[in-house]
Amino acid sequence: MCYGRAKEILERNRNLMDAVVDILVEKKSLQKEEFFNLVKLHGSLQPMPPSVVDLRSAKRLEFQDTLTNQKEVVSQGRN
């Protein structure tokens, strides 16, 4: 899964990689601002999908809320 995602990102950003390589061959170094400018010009960045940990945490919170709501309904029914 990680390999496939990394490969997809590299393929999508081939122009960016080529531009970075060209500048590094010419100048041997790259400032942060220069890199960000190259990303703006050549990059194809998309937001990262949620991680498995994030998904699991969200599901756990959802489940806890459901349990809390059910407890409230049950306790109200007893009164």
What's the domain range around 56?
49-79
Burial class (CB in 10 A: 0-12, 13-18, 19+), 43: middle
The tens digit of pLDDT for each residue in 1-28 reads 789 888 988 899 999 999 999 999 999 9
Q: Are residues 40 and 58 in the same domain?
A: no
Residues of the chain by 3-state class (helix, strand, coil), percent to 5: 80, 0, 20
pTM: 0.53
How far is it, in rounded angstroms, from Cα 70 to Cα 79?
15
Rounded CA-CA distance 29/9 in Å is 23
Number of structural domains in the chain: 2
Same domain (yes/no): 56, 70: yes
> pLDDT tens across 46-66, in order?
777 788 888 899 999 999 999
Based on the fold, state whether residues 58 and 31 are members of the same structural domain. no
Q: Do residues 7 and 38 share a domain?
A: yes
Residues 1 and 25 in one domain: yes
**For the residues 32-38, what does the mean pLDDT come to?**
93
